[in-house]
Structure 1
Amino acid sequence: MISIMNINKKILNVIYKVLAVMLALILWEIVALKIDSPILLVTPVQVLGRLFTIWHEPDFAGTVWFTMYHIVGGFLAGLLCGIICAVLAYICKPVEYILWPWMVTIKAVPVASFVVICLIWFTAKNLSVFIAFLIVVPVIYQNTLTGLRSTDKGIREMADVFHIPWIRRIRYIIMPQLSPYLISAGRVTAGMAWKAGVAAEIIGMPKGSVGQMLYMSKIYLDTDDLLAWTVIIVVLSVIFEKLVVLALKAALKK
């Protein structure tokens, strides 16, 4: 009975989300028709039509792959670095103090400032990798450190008394406690990495990137192209977020 109720709730959630999207599209259509200016705002139908033409362009796959490869690479590097730094800070308190000013600075400095500074150090081609990395590290670090510190002190002491091997401690004590914190951080930073990475590409304009396409659309006042690429970014970001969450859940349950 409970299982059926859970299924019904999931179905209702999907229905509500679909209705919300449809309502947003209807409002968008009404506003676009009211403005009646393709430079300011195009209709969803026009954007959909442009999506179909973009899909068949010869450089589409290469453009998407370029951006995806760099942002995903930066995200994975940031995820790994954040976890390692958190573990070191958990084991050794001085490490936490050493990392503190760096993490605070990274979180406080605007993405645009980092992009401009990093353009001095890196070529535009690799800019989105480093920016995605910087955005991910502090969030993963903080959540992982909080998760490690949330482990029950009594359970840790019991593990010491019974001399439980560290492999078993990690698997059966630490991982279950860490799981919600790391999954939450992964869900948040997956979207943040895409937003920051594409923003870096718009400023740095590496050749053959999604950011370059967005910038050129803005230059030529090609609004349907601009919105079509924005939709593509949103779809890729959502898919990536879901994959990250699934991967983390699978890894942390082992």
Structure 2
Amino acid sequence: MKYSHPLRTCFIWLFWLGVWQGASLLINNNILFVGPVEMAASLWGQLDQTSFWLTILCSFSRISLGFLGAFLCGILLGSLAYISPLIRELIEPVMLLIKAVPVASFVILALIWVGSGNLAVFISFLVVVPMIYINTLSGLGSTDRKLLEMARVFRIPLRKRIHYIYIPALLPYLISGCKTALGMSWKSGIAAEVIGIPRGSVGEQLYYSKLYLDTAGLFTWTFVIVVISALFEQLFLFMLRKIQR
């Protein structure tokens, strides 16, 4: 894959920031739309506030917990489904149901079941589990049959089969699946917070920004979500690629 020159990438970002600021000046209404300058000013005004960082930490811990739980659970369920066709047949309807039911329906049910405090954890978990499950099943299914046959002939222990045969086949599928799952966990988790409004969350701040027509604040918190989500994604994928190498 060819990557753009850093200088060219910088100019592209500057171009779109200019378009964004130009649109803001053209609209000239801070309630309808704000530019990067207004958003940066709003962000700068919050950086020295302890509550700002606690809010980010609170939402980050909930969503990352839901994702990590779904990651482990998806691998476990996918592995069991690969081993046993019966387990696979039992799990498939549940996964299809989770994928088909709208997130909003799960959010409303989860508010009754787990309350607003654990809502983001639960929703992030539900959204991610089917993605990891499918990619785990696909990865294990792509394992080289000749290598498995050789392992059986030479009676290679199961631990070494997992380490040298199954994991190398599985990791590319997990990395590919996580690229989508990580973004979806944040989108669904924040959406759940906006609906449930748990105290001290990013979703609560987005809700109040909408309530008080604070468009600069809305853009600021959206920017924060994008940055934190991107950093978490890069860190997690870096660790998976480290394992792969």
The alignment's TM-score, normalised by the length of structure 2, stands at: 0.96
1:251 aligned residue:
243
What is the 5 A alignment of 1:53-72? 53-72=45-64
1:18 to partner: Cα distance: 2.7
1:94 aligned residue:
86
From the superposition, tell whether residues 127 and 171 of structure 1 become closer, same or farther in structure 2 (CA, over 3 Å): same
Q: Deviations along 1:85-107, whole A, 9 cap, x unmatched?
A: 00100000011111111101111
1:196 is matched with which residue: 188, 199, 204?
A: 188
2:205 is matched with which residue: 206, 209, 213?
A: 213
1:3 aligned residue:
none
- Percent identity at matched positions? 46
Corresponding position: 1:145 with 2:172? no
Q: What CA distance in whole angstroms lies between the structure 2 residues aligned with 1:139 and 1:235?
A: 23
From the superposition, tell whether residues 156 and 125 of structure 1 become closer, same or farther in structure 2 (CA, over 3 Å): same
Q: CA RMSD in A?
A: 1.3
Mark the runs of 5 or more structure 1 residues left unpaired by the alignment.
Answer: 1-5
Q: What CA distance in whole angstroms lies between the structure 1 residues aligned with 2:84 and 2:240?
A: 26
1:233 to partner: Cα distance: 0.2
- Structure 2 residue identity aligned to 1:77: G
1:165 aligned residue:
157
SS in structure 1 at match of 2:45: helix
1:13 to partner: Cα distance: 4.6
1:234 to partner: Cα distance: 0.1
Q: Deviations along 1:116-161, whole A, 9 cap, x unmatched?
A: 1111111101000000000110000000100000011111111100
Q: What CA distance in whole angstroms lies between the structure 2 residues aligned with 1:159 and 1:15?
A: 50
- Structure 2 residue identity aligned to 1:164: I
Q: What CA distance in whole angstroms lies between the structure 2 residues aligned with 1:172 and 1:223?
A: 53
- Structure 1 residue identity aligned to 2:24: A
- Structure 2 residue identity aligned to 1:226: L
Corresponding position: 1:24 with 2:16? yes
Aligned length: 245
The alignment's TM-score, normalised by the length of structure 1, stands at: 0.93
Whether the 8 Å CA contact 1:88–1:95 is kept in 2: the answer is yes
Q: What CA distance in whole angstroms lies between the structure 2 residues aligned with 1:114 and 1:13?
A: 44
Whether the 8 Å CA contact 1:187–1:244 is kept in 2: the answer is no
Corresponding position: 1:224 with 2:236? no
Mark the runs of 5 or more structure 2 residues left unpaired by the alignment.
Answer: none
1:37 aligned residue:
29
Q: What CA distance in whole angstroms lies between the structure 2 residues aligned with 1:213 and 1:166?
A: 50
Q: Deviations along 1:211-247, whole A, 9 cap, x unmatched?
A: 0000000000000000000000000000000011012
